[in-house]
Amino acid sequence: MTDTKNKKYCIMDMDGTLIDSMPYWNTLSPDYLVSRGITKSTEGLVERLRTMTMPEACVYLKREYDLPESPDQLLSDLNAVMRRHYEEDIPLKKGVREHLEQLAKQGAKLCVVTATAKPLVHLCLSRLGVEHYFAFLMSCEEVGRGKDYPDAFLEAARRLGASPEEIYVYEDSLAALRTAKNAGFRTVAVYDPYSGGWEDCAAVSDETITDWV
C-alpha cells in the first residue's frame, strides 16, 4: 500500500488519478471532431485541453476548428458522452479505495478538485462508493479557471482550513503538478499511462505513486 503517513490534508484529482477515465477523455474531442466532418489535425489537442475546464475547452474547440455549434451546445454534447461512461463503466483504480480508507482512519481531511463538471464527479464517485471519503467535491468551473492557474487549489485549501504547505495534491497531470508546486503545496505524482510525461511529473513532485496497490 502507498504510504499515507503524515498526511492530514489531501486534494485529489479525479480523472487519471482516482479513476481510469483518461482513455475516454483522450479520444472524446478528436472523435467528436471527426463526427462533425472536421479534417484539421488534432495533434497535440488532448495535451492543450488537459488543464482546461470543459467550458474553456469548448470555447477553444469552437474557435480553433470553426465549429457551427455554440460553446454551450458543444459542452452539452461532450458532457452527454462522458456522462454515460461515468454512469456505467469507468472503474476506480485498483488500490485507491484502500488508500482512501487508510487516510480516513488516520483522520485526514480529503477533497476532490477536478476540471470535470461537478454533477459528473458526484455521479461517478457515488456509483463507485467512495464519495463519502471526501469533505467536498470541487470543479475548477467553480473558480472559472483550469489547473494551469492556482485558483482552484487555493480555494480548496481555504475550504479545508489549511495552508498549502500542509496539503498534499495528488495529480497525474504535469501542468497541474507544476501549478500546485509553485503555489506552495506538497505534490504527489500519480502515474497514468495515458497522461504522459511521467519522468517530468516525478521530477516536480515530493512523492510518486506508480501503483496504488
C-alpha cell at 132: 463519502
Q: Are residues 51 and 140 in the same domain?
A: no
Q: Are residues 34 and 128 in the same domain?
A: no
User: pLDDT value at position 5?
Assistant: 83
User: pLDDT value at position 148?
Assistant: 93
User: pLDDT value at position 69?
Assistant: 95
Q: Are residues 146 and 180 in the same domain?
A: yes
Q: Are residues 103 and 73 in the same domain?
A: no
Averaged pLDDT, 63-82: 94
Model confidence at 201, pLDDT cuts 50, 70, 90, reads very high
pLDDT digits (tens, 9 = 90+) for 10-27: 999 999 999 999 999 889
C-alpha cell at 131: 464519495
Is the CB of residue 137 less than 8 Å from the CB of residue 112? yes
Distance CA 139, CA 120 (A): 10
Distance CA 46, CA 73 (A): 20
Distance CA 133, CA 177 (A): 22
Tell me the three state secondary structure of residue 134: coil
Which amino acid is located at 15 in the chain?
A: D
Which CATH number fits the domain that encloses residue 194?
Answer: 3.40.50.1000
Q: Are residues 109 and 192 in the same domain?
A: yes
Q: Are residues 114 and 29 in the same domain?
A: no
> Is the residue at 2 inside a domain?
no
Total number of domains constituting the chain? 2
Q: Which domain holds residue 82?
A: 23-88
Q: Which of 71, 88, 105 is the last residue of a domain?
A: 88
pLDDT digits (tens, 9 = 90+) for 129-178: 999 999 999 999 999 999 999 999 999 999 999 999 999 999 999 999 99
Q: Are residues 104 and 204 in the same domain?
A: yes
What do you get for the CA distance between the two ends of the chain, in Å? 5
Model confidence at 51, pLDDT cuts 50, 70, 90, reads confident
Q: Edge-to-edge strands of the sheet including 136-139?
A: 136-139, 109-114, 9-12, 167-171, 186-190, 207-209
Percentage of the chain modeled with pLDDT above 70 = 99
Percentage of the chain modeled with pLDDT above 90 = 87
Q: Are residues 108 and 83 in the same domain?
A: no
User: pLDDT value at position 195?
Assistant: 85
> Is the residue at 188 inside a domain?
yes
> Is the residue at 4 inside a domain?
no
Among 74, 66, 26, CA closest to 48: 26
Residue 213 has pLDDT above 90, yes or no: no
pLDDT digits (tens, 9 = 90+) for 120-141: 999 999 999 999 999 999 999 9
DSSP state of 146: -
- Report the chain's mean pLDDT, rounded to a whole number: 94
Q: Which of 54, 69, 88 is the last residue of a domain?
A: 88
Residue 3 has pLDDT above 80, yes or no: no
